Chains A and B, each alone.
Chain A
Amino acid sequence: GDSVTQMEGPVTLSEEAFLTINCTYTATGYPSLFWYVQYPGEGLQLLLKATKADDKGSNKGFEATYRKETTSFHLEKGSVQVSDSAVYFCALNAFSGGYNKLIFGAGTRLAVHP
């Protein structure tokens, strides 16, 4: 079945460091791919998305490119801030039985220190 694999955390960085969180997927067909972010004590928010191969999603300085050849959707940011500390989830949209369902990775906790 469809699945998403993320790098394990926690990831600990100093402010202004470069961030990469790896995400790979297994799916039939060509799913849409997403990164969601969960700040402490809150629900999930959509951070960015890409709906087809070679699409680049971007938001708030974060970027991810849909790579069909490597089945990957790695999240990157050039200079992280303390306020980026959160849990990041990679997800894909599985369309089966006529309905859309999100399949999530396990999440990667990011801690950014001043």
Chain B
Amino acid sequence: NAGVTQTPKFQVLKTGQSMTLQCAQDMNHEYMSWYRQDPGMGLRLIHYSVGAGITDQGEVPNGYNVSRSTTEDFPLRLLSAAPSQTSVYFCASSYSGTGGSYNEQFFGPGTRLTVL
């Protein structure tokens, strides 16, 4: 099992450019999510998905789009990058996001994005 993989590892963009951060998991997990990590702020949830075709907004969704066409993949799109989106982005997955009990989330290695 590769677990949760993310590409690219590093990316530099100019303001206004668009790009897609890729995330894939091979554990057949239903639940996938995207976080951004900023100094002194921990991780904040951007978007999440509880299954193919189902997505919802997290705490900081503005400027980001997601879709979930397959169980394995959950790409994050920046339509028009801004310097405020400079951050480290983590993708995570777990067996299920529903119900009252918690399922451990597994994290990818992260993508470090710089917007100039």
Contacts and interface: CB of A to CB of B under 8 A. Distances in A.
B103 A45 contact: no
A44 B98 contact: no
A102 B105 contact: yes
Interface of B: 4, 31, 33, 35, 40-45, 48, 50, 56, 58, 90, 92, 94, 97-105, 107-110
9 contacts: A44-B43, A95-B100, A99-B48, A99-B50, A100-B102, A101-B45, A101-B48, A102-B45, A106-B42
A95 B43 CA distance: 17
Contact of A93 (B35, B92, B98, B102): B102
A27 interface: no
Interface string A32-69: 10000000011111100101000000000000000000
Nearest to B4: A43
Given A100-B31, A100-B102, A106 B45 contact: no
A97 B110 CA distance: 27
A107 B42 CA distance: 6
Contacts of A102: 43, 45, 92, 105
Interface in A1-54: 4, 32, 41-46, 49, 51
